[in-house]
Amino acid sequence: MIRYQDVIGKPAISIQEGKNFGKVIDVFVNIQNLVVDGFVISDKDDRFLPYNQIKNIGDSIIFSSGTTLLPLSEKENINERKGASFLGLKVITENGKENGTVASFYFKIENGFISHFELQKNIFKENLIMSIDGILRVGEDAVIIYNEAAEIIDEMKKRNDIKIKIKKIGRSVQIFTKSVFNKKVLKDIMEKSERIMQKTKNSTAKIKDAVEKTINKIRKK
């Protein structure tokens, strides 16, 4: 995984020309599948680098050829939005309770799929990394999370000395703390996590085919 802010400013260098075509200034995200479609590269002009042309992400973005760069006008799509637009979105439960704002997001280097969101640290002692399993919907103005995910967050907020990381809500919850949660609290957290997984099971099945088609389409390009 890589954090959104960590790709900003990286130079984009092509293998074929051995040339630096500019720096990454943003990404484009398909909001239907929550996948990074590519990067906005800026030199003299801003251009779009499709994710399927990227060979590796390290100190630089390594991609195939400068001929694969596209005009930004070709990304004018209602289903696309820039990564920067996610920052500052309110995180709200199904019941309308606010739980902070989005500070960042993480995506998988191998395919661009967003895997986690980072919640702003003004509510927590440290930022909370939350899997998209706890997220019901990412909208234009807010990220809607399951009520159970908010209950887990609330339990963690009660303890000021906690360093928290939810590695995978609903599957495994890792908590690093100076004080130890009692067994009842841990049991409650796991039960809430299981309820999230039960809620997402059906929706995950529905989007599975769409995601696989997207991956196959990317590979064929």
pLDDT at 89: 94
Mean pLDDT of 92-102: 88
In the structure, what pLDDT confidence band is assigned to residue 128 with cuts at 50, 70 and 90? confident
**Average per-residue pLDDT for the chain:** 78
Cβ pair 60, 12 in contact under 8 A = yes
Query: What domains appear along the chain, each with residue ranges and CATH number?
Result: 2-80 (2.30.30.240), 87-206 (2.30.30.240)
Least confident range of 95-104, 183-192, 205-214: 205-214
More confident residue, 64 or 218: 64
Q: Give the integer Cα–Cα distance in Å for 130 and 209.
A: 24
pLDDT at position 130 is: 82
Q: Token digits for 82?
A: 């820039």
Identify the CA nearest to 214 among candidates 67, 34, 3: 34
Check whether 203 has a pLDDT greater than 60. no
pLDDT one-digit tens code per residue, 138-190: 988 999 988 887 777 766 665 544 444 444 444 333 333 333 344 555 566 66
